[in-house]
Structure 1
Amino acid sequence: MFKLRSQVFGALMMSATLIVAASQATAAEIKFALEMFEGDNPEFNAAKAFKDYVENKSNGELTVRLFPGNQMGSVRDTTEMVQAGTLEMTLPSDGAFAGFYKPIQVWSLPYLFRSAPVAWDVMSGEFGQWMLKDIEEKTGIKALAFSQNGFRSFVNNVRPIKTPADMQGMKIRTMESPVYMEMVKALGANPTPIAGSEAVMALQQGVVDGLENPPPVLYTGGAADVAKHLTLNEHVLGLHIIVVGKSWFESLPPAHQAIVQEGARLMASVENVQKTEGDWIYAQKIAEEKGVQVHTSTPEEKQAFKDAVYQPVRKYIAEQVGEELLQQMEASVGEAEAKLYQQAE
């Protein structure tokens, strides 16, 4: 009798072990590395929305583990890991991604987008969807969606910037990006490429006179603590690309692929709205809490800046990505504006 009980118990234990093993085999963990730190900020909030959506829609068969604050390395590091198949997911900016895919620079045309909703329409429209597929074909990285990384504006310690002439002779910190350097040169200022981690100290110590970033980054990153003037001129719309490993994504069942794709679009929507909202919320915080003098550019002032920088930067980007791609982007923007503002095409 004891022997029979032992055999029955052993059979039950083996069955339970197989059930657990089967459930573990069907569950997939998505390791998602991002640059921004954990907290109440658009990137992390959007990533958290992705995590909640995917885990709930898959009934826990998919789990998402977030690695914020560059825990897995720089954006370039994590993008290389996704490309190599050693990481499932990351969120590079357009500047970092240009090293993998040159045509992404077409989004950096200064004053290309009249408003955030115009950019959103282009991201989700025919041009944006074509580029997502082209990224996959050219790099082997599966691009799921584009999202907004904020409109970039200038802070400085010399004078209020209301016209291009106000920037004459200023030393402006830029990313190590030829596009941004060309833009600053076209404004009569001197571009000074400095790593992001050293930018605030360079401004504080007078190594540079100013720098440019979206208001939430200026506030949380510390630049607003050491700057005197902020001009909300919104010269370039920063872009994020939501990317995953191609082989990993294709290994998922079709139902799980659909959930991940849906989650990416939800994530893009969350970041788009919070980034847009954050531009004016943090501009107000910068003025009220940091004592920075804030000037919002008028449409006429923006046009003066566009007149100064658009063609020189366009010429440079055309040399990098080709005239045809630029024309396609400009046509897409025109269609989005016509749709949004009900203008005749």
Structure 2
Amino acid sequence: MNTVKRTLRAAAVGMILMAGSGAAWAAEFSLSVNTALQPQDPLFKGLNAFKENVEKRSEGKISVRLFPGSQLGKDEDVLEQARAGAGVAVVVDGGRLAVYTKEFGVLGAPYLASGYDGVRKVVTSPMFETWVGNLRKAAGLQVLSFNWWQGERHLVTNVPVKVPADLAGIRMRTPGAPVWMETIRAMGATPTPMGWAEVYTAMQQKVIDALEAQSPAVYNSKLFEVAKYLTKSGHINLITGVVTSAAWFDGLPADLQKIVREEALKAGDIASRGTEASLADYEKQMAEKGMVVTEIDVTPFREATKSVYEKLGYGELHAELDKFLTN
């Protein structure tokens, strides 16, 4: 299986190199977009819209190719390709960008904002644009837009969970970014970083006991087959962005730069509203397949995770964002 994955990845990277040399497409510029999500995920509709509208508005000068299922590699690997100047982009959370620009990490902090409208206000603000500029300087990465909402993340377990104490001794998969790890630790579980593609097998083989994820991802990866309970903790409001190479972006004429960023923002709204509309249906389908979907009082989890902001040095920024979000 690993050999097959490496072969597919090598082929995908080869196509990027061909694109960069002009051999694969007649377009002047090409962009390959990588995502861990599958084509049936509502967010993928936004990526299709981005592809179609960029190619149309640029009159074919920009070609966009989409690679679901992390075909180009892990998010961190694709970010490194982008930093090296390749014409690649990745749908990525703020936690993975925090290693370059710390402020991005707060986007994955617990109970930051309510729903898509709340977090969208943050990622379309002048404050956020200063983070975008800092990321360019620090890492050579360009944010196209960061309004790709994948839903609130919930607990997926094989034991019922009502309060943080129920997670004691539970090995829970989470992305490896510090803010995610610390959030899971504060909730009472033992954070276990792991690539998303490995989660199903890890649950099946009991390498991990639980995970946390948004409902569309849980359903589309068929995790209801290996986990009994989905507990709606909503501890992280998962907002992601399309991030590419600053060098590739700077190589575009100004009019094409404008098109790419405008269409990324529009497509992010399409993806996010589609996600909003799909959540209840996903939960209904999982319940029909035997999963127990439970609403809980999240107050104990909210209280347990308050310390995450101070522990990771986001106390002042959290206060600033709280003030911004309530105005």
Class of the TM-score when normalised by the shorter of the 2 chains: 0.7 to 0.9
Percent pairwise identity: 30
Stretches of structure 1 lacking an aligned partner (at least 5 in a row): 1-23, 336-345
Aligned pairs for 1:192-271 within 5 A:
192-271=192-271
Does 167-176 or 250-259 show the bigger shift? Answer: 167-176
Correspondence 1:275 to 2:275: yes
Partner of 2:319: 327
**1:269 to partner: Cα distance:** 0.8
Instruction: In structure 2, give the amino acid aligned to 1:263.
Output: E
Q: Which amino acid aligns with 1:294?
A: V
Structure 2 residue 134 is matched with structure 1 residue 134 = yes
User: Does residue 96 in structure 1 map to residue 96 in structure 2?
Assistant: yes
Change (3 A) 1:173 1:68: closer
CA 171–67 in structure 1, closer or farther in 2 if over 3 Å, else same = closer
CA distance in 2, matches of 1:195, 1:55: 31
**Distance in 2 between residues matched to 1:167 and 1:25, nearest whole Å:** 51
User: For residues 305 and 323 of structure 1, do their structure 2 counterparts lie closer, same or farther at Cα, with a shift above 3 Å needed?
Assistant: closer
8 Å Cα contact 1:215/1:278 also seen in 2: no
What is the CA distance between 1:313 and its match in structure 2?
0.9
- Matched-pair contact (CA < 8 Å) for 2:37–2:217: no
Cα gap change, 1:256/1:193 in structure 2, threshold over 3 Å: closer, same or farther? Answer: closer
Task: State the Cα RMSD in Å.
Answer: 2.4
Instruction: Give the residue type in structure 1 aligned to 2:243.
Output: V
Indicate the larger mover: 237-246 or 176-185.
176-185
Within a 5 Å distance, the mapping from 1:75-90 to structure 2 comes to 75-90=75-90
Distance in 2, matches of 1:210 and 1:279, equals 21
CA radius of gyration, larger in:
1
Give the Cα separation in 1 of the matches to 2:85 and 2:273.
31
The residue that corresponds to 2:185 in the other structure is 185
Mapping for residues 55-134 of structure 1, pairs under 5 Å: 55-134=55-134
Question: Taking structure 1 as reference, are residues 215 and 268 closer, same or farther at Cα in structure 2, changes over 3 Å only?
Answer: same
Q: How does 1:141-180 map to 2 (within 5 A)?
A: 141-146=141-146, 147-159=148-160, 161-180=161-180
**Residues 98-118 of structure 1 deviation map (CA, whole Å, 9 limit, x = unaligned):** 333332111122111122211
Distance in 1 between residues matched to 2:51 and 2:192, nearest whole Å: 38
Structure 1 Cα separation of the partners of residues 46 and 73 of structure 2: 20
TM score, norm. by length of structure 2: 0.84
Q: SS where residue 172 of structure 1 aligns?
A: strand
Q: Please give the per-residue CA displacement for 1:6-51, whole angstroms capped at 9, x wherever unaligned.
A: xxxxxxxxxxxxxxxxxx9994232222123552223322111011
Aligned CA distance change for structure 1 residues 155 and 37 (closer, same or farther; 3 Å): closer
- Please state whether the residue corresponding to 1:191 is helix, strand or coil: strand
Q: Deviations over 1:63-98 (max 9, x none)?
A: 222233323222112111111112243322233333
Deviation at 1:224, TM superposition (A): 1.4
Task: State how far apart, in whole Å, the 1-side matches of 2:99 and 2:265 are.
Answer: 24
Which residues in structure 2 correspond to 1:274-313 (within 5 Å)? 274-288=274-288, 290-297=289-296, 301-310=297-306, 312-313=307-308
Unaligned segments of structure 2, at least 5 residues: 1-23
- CA contact 2:47–2:267 (8 Å) conserved in 1: yes
> Using a 3 Å threshold, how does the CA distance of structure 1 residues 142 and 287 change in structure 2: closer, same or farther?
same
- What amino acid sits opposite 2:311 in the alignment? Y
Residues 129 and 281 of structure 1, relative CA distance in 2, 3 Å threshold: farther
Q: Distance in 2 between matches of 1:190 and 1:36?
A: 23
Aligned length: 303
- Letter in structure 1 aligned against 2:299: Q
How far off is 1:129 after superposition?
A: 2.5
Q: CA deviation at 1:308?
A: 1.4
Cα gap change, 1:164 to 1:64, in 2 (>3 Å): same
Q: Sort the Cα spacing of 1:181 and 1:89 in 2 relative to 1 into closer, same or farther, 3 A.
A: closer
Change (3 A) 1:212 1:255: same
CA deviation profile, 1:263-315 (whole Å, cap 9, x unmatched): 11112112221222333221111111x21111123xxx1222101112x2112
2:316 paired with 1:315: no
Q: Is the 8 A contact 1:151 1:279 kept in 2?
A: no
